[in-house]
C-alpha cells in the first residue's frame, strides 16, 4: 500500500508537526548532489585560527575529558566575564552565565526556561529559522514583525512593532547583526525596543552570534547595555562564527541571576554540558583573541566586496550587509513564471550555486517568495567560482 501523509507522521507529536525540516540542510544536500558551490549553509570553508586549535589540542592532552560543571567550565566563565567587561563594559558575574552546546541550545534552553504555554514572543522576520520552532517547542505563540528592504537597507515599521505587543507578550527575540538580512540594529531602534520591553514588562532575548562581524566602522551594541535592560535581557552568543568552529558547539546565555537558575536547569536536562576540552580552548581564545576579533571584520569586508557587486551586476537586487555574512537578495527579475523555491532549486541544479530560498525565513512563505540568500563565509576561490557561475547566468 502507498504510505499516506498521515502514515508518514504517525506517532510524531502535534507540537512537532507544526514545523518542517530545515530547508537550509536540504539545499546543502542538493549542493552535494549536483556538485554545486555551497553558498547556502552558514559555515566557513576555511580553517579555524591556529591559536584556538592549539588550545583545544592542549586541553585534550591535559586530559580534560570528563563532564564540565553543567553551567560551564570556570575558566570559560571567567573569560566571559572579562571579555564582556573589556568589549562592552558589561558586568557579567558567575551567577549570570550558562555555557551551552552552541547558541542554538542557549536559545531553546532560555525559551523553555522563561515561557509558559500561551505566552507570546515577538520575532522579526525574515528570521533565523530556529526561532519559530523554538517558540513552539516552548509552548509559546510567535508573533511576527516584518523587516523590509529599501535603498537605505533594512528597517521595520515602529507602529507595527508596537502593535505586536499585548498583555500576553513575554519576550522579544532580536538578532543583531542579523541573519539573513545583514541588518545591524541602530541605537535608536534598540532604544525603541527597550521602551516597549519596559512598557510591557517583557524580556528581550538577543542572539549576538555575529557580534564580531560588523562593517564600515559600526559598533555592536548589546541591548543589555541600554539603561533599564540589564535586568530584562538574556544575551546569547558563542564561538561558532567568531572563531570559525561551528562544529565545536560552544555558546552561552548571559541572564539576570533569577533567570539563569531556570536556564541552567533546562540546559542540564537537555545536554548536561558543552564539550569540556573545547570550553577550555574557547576560554583561551577569548583571552588571546581581541586582535583576531578586530581583524575579522576587515577579512569579511573583503569577502563582502567579492560578492555584492558581482551579484548586483548579474541582476540580483541587494544592498551591502551591515554585519554578519549573508546577502538576502531580491530575485524578482529572474522569476518569470516560477517561484523563489523553484528558482533556488534551478540555481543549484543548472547554474551550480546553492542558496537558500527566502521563503524559509518567513512564517508565511509568500513573503519571501521573491528572495534568495547567499552566504559568503567562504574562501576567495570558492567565492570566485560561485561568482563566475553567477556572471554566466546574466548572459543566458
Ligand atoms: C542567527 C544565528 N544564531 C545562531 C546560529 C547557530 O549558532 P551556534 O553554532 O552557536 O549554535 C546561527 C547559525 O547559522 C545563526 O545564524
Q: Render pLDDT for 354-393 as a digit per residue (tens, 0 to 9).
A: 999 999 999 999 999 999 999 999 999 999 999 999 998 8
Judged by DSSP in three states, 261 sits in: helix
Task: Give the pLDDT confidence score for residue 48 in this predicted structure.
Answer: 97
pLDDT tens-digit readout, 192-209? 999 999 999 999 999 999
Task: Give the pLDDT confidence score for residue 41 in this predicted structure.
Answer: 87
**Residues 258, 108 contacting (CB under 8 angstroms):** no
CA distance 98 to 101: 10
First-to-last alpha carbon distance for the chain, in angstroms, is: 45
Mutate to test the pocket of ligand 1, among 23, 103, 123, 278 (most ligand atoms within 8 A of CB): 103
Closest residue CA from atom 6 of ligand 1: 104
Stretch 69-84: mean pLDDT, rounded?
97
Question: Could you give the residue range(s) of every CATH 3.90.1150.10 domain in the chain?
Answer: 5-48+292-394
Residue 228 pLDDT grade (very low, low, confident, very high; cuts 50, 70, 90) = very high
The answer to whether residue 341 scores a pLDDT higher than 80 is: yes
Stretch 97-121: mean pLDDT, rounded?
97
Question: Could you give the residue range(s) of every CATH 3.40.640.10 domain in the chain?
Answer: 50-289
Closest residue CA from atom 7 of ligand 1: 103
75 is written with which cell numbers?
575558566
246 lines ligand 1 (CB under 6 A): yes
Task: Give the pLDDT confidence score for residue 17 in this predicted structure.
Answer: 84
Distance 337 CA to ligand 1 centre (A): 34
Distance 338 CA to ligand 1 centre (A): 30
**Residues 122, 131 contacting (CB under 8 angstroms):** no
175 lines ligand 1 (CB under 6 A): yes
Task: Give the pLDDT confidence score for residue 16 in this predicted structure.
Answer: 85
Residue 3 pLDDT grade (very low, low, confident, very high; cuts 50, 70, 90) = low
44 lines ligand 1 (CB under 6 A): no
pLDDT tens-digit readout, 32-73? 999 999 999 888 999 999 999 999 999 999 999 999 999 999
pLDDT tens-digit readout, 150-196? 888 899 999 999 999 999 999 999 999 999 999 999 999 999 999 99
Task: Give the pLDDT confidence score for residue 129 in this predicted structure.
Answer: 87
CA distance 105 to 264: 11
Q: Is 289 exposed, middle or buried (0-12, 13-18, 19+ CB in 10 A)?
A: buried
209 lines ligand 1 (CB under 6 A): yes
Identify the residue with better confidence: 60 or 21: 60
Q: What is the helix (H) or strand (E) element at residue 100, kind and residue range?
A: strand 97-100
323 lines ligand 1 (CB under 6 A): no
DSSP 395: T
Closest residue CA from atom 14 of ligand 1: 42
Predicted structure pTM score: 0.95
240 lines ligand 1 (CB under 6 A): yes
- Sign of the CA dihedral 83, 86, 90, 93? positive
CATH code for residues 50-289:
3.40.640.10
Residue 248 pLDDT grade (very low, low, confident, very high; cuts 50, 70, 90) = very high
The residue written with cell numbers 528570521 in the block is 127
Give the residue among 318, 301, 45 at the shortest CA–CA distance from 181. Answer: 318
CATH code for residues 5-48+292-394:
3.90.1150.10
Distance 313 CA to ligand 1 centre (A): 30
Distance 210 CA to ligand 1 centre (A): 8
377 lines ligand 1 (CB under 6 A): no
The answer to whether residue 106 scores a pLDDT higher than 60 is: yes
Identify the residue with better confidence: 51 or 20: 51
pLDDT tens-digit readout, 284-331? 999 988 999 999 999 999 999 999 999 999 999 999 999 999 999 999
Distance 247 CA to ligand 1 centre (A): 11
pLDDT tens-digit readout, 258-293? 999 999 999 999 999 999 999 999 999 999 889 999
CA distance 260 to 305: 41
Task: Give the pLDDT confidence score for residue 13 in this predicted structure.
Answer: 86
Amino acid at each position: 500500500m502507498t504510505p499516506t501523509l498521515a502514515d508518514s507522521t504517525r506517532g510524531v507529536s502535534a507540537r512537532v508537526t507544526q514545523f518542517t525540516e530545515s530547508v537550509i540542510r536540504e539545499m546543502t544536500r542538493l549542493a552535494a548532489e549536483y556538485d554545486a558551490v555551497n553558498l547556502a549553509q552558514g559555515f566557513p570553508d576555511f580553517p579555524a585560527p591556529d591559536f584556538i586549535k592549539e588550545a583545544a589540542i592542549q586541553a585534550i592532552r591535559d586530559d580534560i575529558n570528563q563532564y564540565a560543571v553543567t553551567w560551564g567550565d570556570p575558566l570559560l566563565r571567567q573569560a566571559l566575564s572579562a571579555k564582556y567587561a573589556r568589549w562592552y563594559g558589561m558586568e557579567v558575574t558567575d551567577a549570570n552565565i550558562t555555557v551551552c552546546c552552541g547558541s542554538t541550545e542557549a536559545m531553546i534552553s532560555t525559551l523553555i526556561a522563561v515561557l509558559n504555554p500561551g505566552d507570546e514572543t515577538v520575532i522579526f522576520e525574515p528570521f533565523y529559522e530556529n526561532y519559530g520552532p523554538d517558540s513552539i517547542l516552548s509552548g509559546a505563540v510567535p508573533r511576527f514583525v516584518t523587516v523590509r528592504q529599501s535603498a537605505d537597507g533594512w528597517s521595520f515599521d515602529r507602529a507595527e512593532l508596537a502593535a505586536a505587543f499585548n498583555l500576553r507578550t513575554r519576550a522579544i527575540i532580536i538578532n543583531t547583526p542579523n541573519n539573513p538580512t545583514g541588518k545591524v540594529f541602530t541605537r535608536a531602534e534598540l532604544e525603541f525596543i527597550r521602551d516597549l520591553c519596559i512598557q510591557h514588562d517583557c524580556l528581550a532575548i538577543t542572539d549576538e552570534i555575529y557580534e564580531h562581524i560588523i562593517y564600515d566602522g559600526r559598533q555592536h551594541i548589546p541591548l543589555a547595555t541600554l539603561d533599564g535592560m540589564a535586568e530584562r535581557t538574556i544575551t546569547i552568543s558563542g564561538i561558532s562564527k567568531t572563531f570559525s568552529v561551528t562544529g565545536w558547539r560552544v555558546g552561552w546565555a548571559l541572564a539576570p541571576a533569577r533567570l539563569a537558575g531556570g536556564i541552567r536547569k533546562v540546559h542540564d536536562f537537555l545536554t548536561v554540558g558543552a564539550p569540556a576540552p573545547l570550553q577550555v580552548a574557547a576560554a583561551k581564545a577569548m583571552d588571546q583573541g581581541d586582535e583576531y576579533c578586530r581583524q575579522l571584520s576587515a577579512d569579511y569586508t573583503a569577502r563582502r566586496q567579492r560578492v555584492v557587486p558581482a551579484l548586483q551586476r548579474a541582476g540580483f537586487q541587494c544592498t551591502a550587509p551591515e554585519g554578519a555574512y549573508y546577502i538576502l537578495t531580491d530575485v524578482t527579475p529572474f522569476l518569470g513564471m516560477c517561484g523563489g523555491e523553484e528558482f533556488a532549486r534551478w540555481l543549484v541544479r543548472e547554474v551550480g550555486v546553492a542558496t537558500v530560498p527566502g521563503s524559509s525565513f518567513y512564517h508565511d512563505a509568500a513573503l519571501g517568495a521573491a528572495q534568495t540568500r547567499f552566504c559568503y563565509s567562504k574562501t576567495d576561490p570558492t567565492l570566485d567560482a560561485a561568482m563566475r557561475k553567477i556572471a554566466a547566468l546574466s548572459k543566458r
